[in-house]
Amino acid sequence: MPKQLEDNIIQADYSEEMQKSYIDYAMSVIVSRALPDARDGLKPVQRRTLYDMYELGIRYDRPYRKCARIVGDTMGKYHPHGDSSIYEALVVMSQEFKRGQALVDGHGNFGSIEGDGAAAMRYTEARLMRITQEVYLADLDKDVVDFLPNFDETEKEPSVLPVRIPNLLINGAEGIAVGMATSVPPHNLGEVADAVKAYIRNNDITIKGLMHYLKGPDFPTGGIVVNQDGLLDIYSTGTGKIRLRGKVELEQGKGGRQSLVITEIPYTMIGANIGKFLNDVAALVESRVTTDITDISNQSSKEGIRIVLELRKGADAEKLKNMLYKKTRLEDTFGVNMLAVSEGRPETLNLKQIIEHHVDFQVEVCTRKHQTLLSKELEKKEIQEGLIEACNVIDLIIEILRGSKNQEQAKTCLTEGVTEGIRFKTKASRTQASKLRFTQRQATAILEMRLYRLIGLEVEALLKEHEATLANIARYEEILNDYNVMMDVIIKDLNAVKRMYARKRRTAIENAQEAVYEEPKDEETEVIFLMDKFGYGKIIDRASYERNRDIVQEEYKYSFPCMSDDKICVFTDTGKMHTAKVAKLPFGKVRGKGVPIDNVSNYDSAKERILFVGSLAALKASNLLLVTAQGLLKQVQGQEFEVSKRTIAATKLNEGDALIFAGISDHAEFTVLQSANGYFLRMLTREAPIQKRNSLGVRGMRLEEGDMLERAYLLEGASEYSIHYNDKTLPLGSLKLAKRDTKGVKA
């Protein structure tokens, strides 16, 4: 290998390189994509979208702009990760049912609480909400936050927005990163502002003390938090589960009928889960878990949620309400994990830590803002003092200007007292001019001053303006030098935001009792199980079976009686037994459609073939004969199949072997085995030994090389049983009786 190539080869350990690369990728997703910043509570895509709208001038008091324009501009300038993520963030920030405080004013179809998606971005329009402009984006021109280069270093973007309220608490957050996820519930703006003020007044306040002001989550969908006592632990650790219930009201109808009306839903139910809730209630009615609900209607509109469940006369409404809480998502849990990016790394924060981060950030923003304002006021003071002094010696300045050859010469005279080359009327004027020492900024202002500023009223206004500037400087210096004064400014801002944008709490918080619902015990009844050749099963009552016995015999492959609390056992060629509860099967008519056995058991019709179906109760009292393709057979006592699992191995199989027959053998005196090469063996069933499920069995028929068993038959005594074989009728009972493990006879 050439020396120069050898010098360029870098030796690296593959596992270490993979580990480093994956950690870099994971941290990029965590910090730059999925998790919000603890300071402004925004993910990068949300921050960039809002800032881009601000830069485009799409303010709350200006016309809406197409979302496609906003998305394209954001993607091209700040967020090169695809338009769908940007538009989705824009849509969510406009949906009041998802956020405690909407940040974008959407115009058009921005989806619904029932899970309808927003229209395409080319059809919708948006602009900033007033709160976003005044509370989230204000003061960006005052150097309150750092600006960083964008992805291609052609633009600058803020590293964080100067949000004046704890947005992480008010709007909450949801996000999935690599190996971690965040889930912060939304809260009431007014309560959060009060909690922040309480912390500012007393930094040693406990989380319990903060909860005197911030009662708990305030979800935009309302509902009821029912584990109030558990909230302190959640806010102390930053993790836990909030139990939520929908609000259910009882309405009286005509004729003494009542209706349960759901007017508020758990936050976790928004979207497709509303439809799932309606389906779950319908399923409870169809499966006869309850017969008290006569009709279900979703009357929700833009005015709010209204789901009506009409009840039959005399129904127990309280019992039904508890059933809905237990069996549907009308009561659900919201998992809390208050994870956010703090000082560049992910951290799970408790309530006090979030408020601490916010207040520290506000101190930084307030300091930088007033430093910028103070700097500007000091510049104004310098210029104003120069203009006031210039008015006092205005005749001398005019003489300097008229005697100077150029602007630079005049400026040098004003700042340094250099009089060479300038014509003066008198020596006294030259001497006086040599004493001038204006600053560069003052000299520039004097040279640019217009003559009308010499009017008496204008001079008076200049003096008043100077007084105001001195007052501002004193105020800003006081704020910067006195921590308590700065805290008063932050509290004043919070009060203004609260007064303008706070609204009443929507979610009730209480300690509710556990919903108690006892399953009604079904009476054990005898039913008839039916399954057709396509694998569709159902149950019917015995009376229907007796009336249609001939139809059942013609159209159904399996039919037998069982109890309503029994199980159906399905044996397949893979050597497995699947069980299905009879109670899970639909109760129908003889000609009605059933359900695929796949749907109520683990049986897979694409990979398995059914050999035998029977009830567990009948199986427990019997022996089961099992025969494999490689000629092995055995009997297994039925009670071995009484297990709690839905699928078990009915028998052990050699590699390449398959089960070809399963059947109850108690009343079968003879067993006939049939091979693919046309050999038949009739033997006594009792020669098949009774063995355990997990055994292989014994050889039933000695097979030629390449031959295998195809079928097996059970014969009761000397009864005649014939099959069609090679276009002829073959009576199995007439076959010569032989011993097990023999070759049999060629048919």
Length of the chain as a residue count:
747
Distance of alpha carbon 316 from alpha carbon 292, whole angstroms: 8
State the virtual CA torsion across 587, 593, 598, 603 in degrees, nearest 10.
80
Query: Tokens representing 599?
Result: 């749907």
Distance of alpha carbon 391 from alpha carbon 401, whole angstroms: 14
Q: Which of 677, 596, 714, 689 is nearest to 636 (CA)?
A: 689
Distance of alpha carbon 130 from alpha carbon 109, whole angstroms: 20
DSSP symbol at 701: B
Q: Which of 259, 330, 253, 250 is nearest to 295 (CA)?
A: 259
Q: Give all strands (DSSP E) within 534-588, no chain letters.
A: 536-541, 558-563, 567-572, 576-581
φ, ψ (nearest 5 deg) of residue 626: -120, 130
Q: Compute the half-sphere exposure of residue 723: CA atoms within 13 Å on the CB side of its CA.
A: 17
DSSP symbol at 737: B
Bridge partners (DSSP) listed for residue 613: 570
Q: Would strands 610-615 and 567-572 be described as parallel, antiparallel, or unpaired?
A: antiparallel
Report yes or no: 49 and 86 within 8 Å, Cβ to Cβ.
yes
Helix (H, G, I), strand (E, B) or coil at 398: helix
Q: Which of 480, 491, 505, 504 is nearest to 164 (CA)?
A: 491
Which residues are the active-site residues?
123
Distance of alpha carbon 156 from alpha carbon 163, whole angstroms: 19
Number of Cβ within 10 Å of residue 45's Cβ equals 24
Distance of alpha carbon 43 from alpha carbon 79, whole angstroms: 12
Distance of alpha carbon 628 from alpha carbon 612, whole angstroms: 14
DSSP symbol at 188: -
Query: Tokens representing 727?
Result: 């276009």
Under 8 Å CB-to-CB from 504, ≥6 apart: which residues?
none
DSSP symbol at 46: H
Distance of alpha carbon 82 from alpha carbon 93, whole angstroms: 18
Burial zone of 452 (CB within 10 Å; 0-12 exposed, 13-18 middle, 19+ buried): exposed
